[in-house]
């Protein structure tokens, strides 16, 4: 990569591998500014991030990666702050990545995170960071996984990935986590019935936060009943366009015509449903115990290893897609690639044939 004849000092300033080496060494040694720079590199998917991850990835794999998702305002950030307080009291270190799936910076959320961060400004065992996931296919999953791997390699015991649940994002966060916590708030009321099955499917633990509000316990029992019903009816229920049928006292529905047909999809999980009050910390020790249980249960070939495989897939496929695209867009291939894309746009070529030709051009 380094041009011949260029003095070493000039090379080190520009060579991503050298820069990554300096940053990773500093970050792993506890330099928080270097860690912040590495995460910026990850967020921007720079060559420095790639070089750093090559070094850091083998050092990661020890942290418990916990995804926290749920609707806007459910109390995710407040709950993470309460969990940090609880974990610090037990001497465990915590890294947090608040991922904004919609890229443009949401002032409120970021500000909140900054204020909370100040409380731990002098605590070296807490690191909180907001980042945007830009619009790549699988971008949220692979960026979250990469950021988590960096914090993991830097020795944090737990890494929280907070993201607002907006449909697809919670699925991607789940792909980057060992344990996924789905948060609800009691005032969702009837909307509980309309919770997307997708949200429940990714949940390892369901938390009804704002336990101080009326209806929290009722929401929790509705959710428990719903989850039992979903598990009983299983796949049949999920066929209804991703919506879970409503009533809390729901009886198992009629067996579908092809219920005996083999179904490769995994059985729905039966997550625990807990109630917390993030603002006071009530229920937070119970949540922590539940997180630890999930982690312990999944360690040997269980849920955690399935989550890890999903995470590996998210990362590898995203890198493969990026790299394939970069090669097809490189000098010498770009014109041909553009011509094929144009032909698809003009309906002169179908997209499948287009891909056949693009792959052939890579092999050729």
Residues 194 and 130: beta-carbon distance below 8 Å: no
Nearer of residues 11 and 110 to Mg ion, judged by Cβ: 110
Decide if residue 133 touches ligand GTP (CB under 6 A): no
Decide if residue 210 touches Mg ion (CB under 5 A): no
87 binds, among ligand GTP, Mg ion, none (CB under 5 to 8 A by kind): none
Nearer of residues 96 and 233 to ligand GTP, judged by Cβ: 96
With CB under 5 A as the contact rule, the residue among 19, 64, 76, 311 that binds Mg ion is 76
Decide if residue 86 touches ligand GTP (CB under 6 A): no
- Quote the least distance from Cβ 75 to Mg ion, whole Å: 8
Residues 185 and 75: beta-carbon distance below 8 Å: yes
From the list 18-26, 52-60, 204-212, 257-265, the region that binds ligand GTP by CB under 6 A is 204-212
Other Cβ atoms closer than 10 A to 357? 17
Decide if residue 164 touches ligand GTP (CB under 6 A): yes
User: Is residue 158 classed as helix, strand or coil in its secondary structure?
Assistant: strand
DSSP 257-308: TTTTS---SPPPP--EEEE-BTTTTBTHHHHHHHHHHHHHHHTTTSHHHHHH
From the list 69-77, 236-244, 307-315, 347-355, the region that binds ligand GTP by CB under 6 A is 69-77
Nearer of residues 113 and 237 to Mg ion, judged by Cβ: 113
With CB under 6 A as the contact rule, the residue among 21, 47, 73, 256 that binds ligand GTP is 73
From the list 239-247, 272-280, 320-328, 355-363, the region that binds ligand GTP by CB under 6 A is 272-280
C-alpha 137/C-alpha 134 separation (Å) is 9
Q: Residue 234 — left, alpha, or beta (φ > 0 → left; ψ -120 to 50 → alpha)?
A: left
| Rounded alpha-carbon distances, angstroms, from residue 9 to 14, 16, 26, 148, 362 | 9, 13, 19, 32, 37
169 binds, among ligand GTP, Mg ion, none (CB under 5 to 8 A by kind): none
- Quote the least distance from Cβ 76 to Mg ion, whole Å: 5
Residues 38 and 52: beta-carbon distance below 8 Å: yes
Decide if residue 74 touches ligand GTP (CB under 6 A): yes
Q: Smallest Cα–Cα separation from 99: which of 64, 120, 69?
A: 69
With CB under 5 A as the contact rule, the residue among 77, 93, 209, 276 that binds Mg ion is 77
Decide if residue 270 touches ligand GTP (CB under 6 A): no
**143 is written with which tokens?**
């960026």
- Quote the least distance from Cβ 226 to ligand GTP, whole Å: 21
With CB under 6 A as the contact rule, the residue among 209, 304, 315, 337 that binds ligand GTP is 209
Decide if residue 180 touches ligand GTP (CB under 6 A): no
Considering only residues 20 to 39 of the shown chain, the ones binding ligand GTP according to CB under 6 A are none
Nearer of residues 111 and 306 to Mg ion, judged by Cβ: 111
Residues 6+ apart with CB under 8 A from 163: 67, 68, 69, 98, 99, 100, 101, 140, 144, 169, 170, 172, 173
Nearer of residues 115 and 194 to ligand GTP, judged by Cβ: 115
C-alpha 153/C-alpha 55 separation (Å) is 9
Give the CA angle between residues 281, 282, 288 to the nearest 5°.
75
Q: Can you point out the beta strands (E) in 11-157?
A: 64-70, 94-100, 126-132
153 binds, among ligand GTP, Mg ion, none (CB under 5 to 8 A by kind): none
Decide if residue 109 touches ligand GTP (CB under 6 A): yes
Residues 6+ apart with CB under 8 A from 254: none
* Site residues (vs Mg ion, CB under 5 A): 76-77, 109
Report the interface residues with ligand GTP, using CB under 6 A: 72-78, 109, 112, 164, 209-210, 212-213, 277-279
């Amino acid at each position: 990569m380094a041009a011949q004849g260029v003095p070493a000092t000039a090379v080190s300033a520009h060579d991503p591998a050298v820069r990554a080496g300096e940053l990773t060494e500093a970050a792993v040694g506890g330099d928080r500014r270097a860690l912040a720079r590495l995460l910026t590199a990850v967020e921007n998917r720079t060559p420095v991030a790639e070089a750093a991850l090559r070094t850091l990835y083998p050092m990661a794999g020890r942290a418990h990666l916990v995804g926290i998702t749920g609707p806007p305002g459910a109390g995710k950030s407040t709950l993470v702050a309460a969990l940090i307080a609880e974990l610090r009291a037990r001497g465990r270190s915590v890294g947090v990545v608040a991922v904004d799936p919609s890229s443009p910076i949401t002032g409120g959320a970021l500000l909140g995170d900054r204020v909370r961060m100040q409380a731990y400004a002098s605590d070296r065992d807490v690191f909180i960071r907001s980042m945007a996931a830009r619009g790549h296919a699988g971008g949220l999953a692979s960026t979250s996984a990469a950021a988590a791997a960096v914090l993991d390699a830097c020795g944090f015991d737990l890494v929280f990935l907070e993201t607002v649940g907006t449909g697809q994002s919670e699925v991607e966060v789940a792909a980057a986590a060992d344990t996924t916590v789905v948060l609800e708030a009691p005032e969702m009321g009837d909307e509980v019935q309309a919770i997307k099955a997708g949200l429940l499917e990714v949940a390892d633990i369901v938390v009804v936060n704002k336990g101080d509000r009326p209806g929290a316990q009722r929401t929790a029992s509705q959710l428990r009943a719903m989850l039992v019903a979903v598990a009983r009816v299983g796949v049949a229920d999920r066929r209804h366009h991703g919506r879970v049928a409503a009533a809390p006292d729901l009886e198992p529905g009629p067996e579908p015509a092809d219920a005996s047909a083999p179904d490769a999809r995994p059985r729905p999980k039966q997550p625990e449903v807990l109630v917390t009050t993030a603002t006071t910390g009530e229920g937070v020790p119970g949540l922590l115990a539940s997180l630890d249980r999930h982690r312990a249960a999944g360690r040997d070939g269980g849920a955690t290893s399935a989550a890890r495989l999903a995470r590996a897939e998210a990362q590898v496929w995203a890198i493969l897609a990026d790299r394939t695209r970069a090669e097809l867009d490189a000098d010498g291939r770009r014109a041909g690639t553009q011509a094929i894309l144009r032909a698809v746009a003009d309906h002169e070529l179908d997209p499948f044939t287009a891909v056949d030709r693009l792959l052939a051009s890579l092999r050729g």
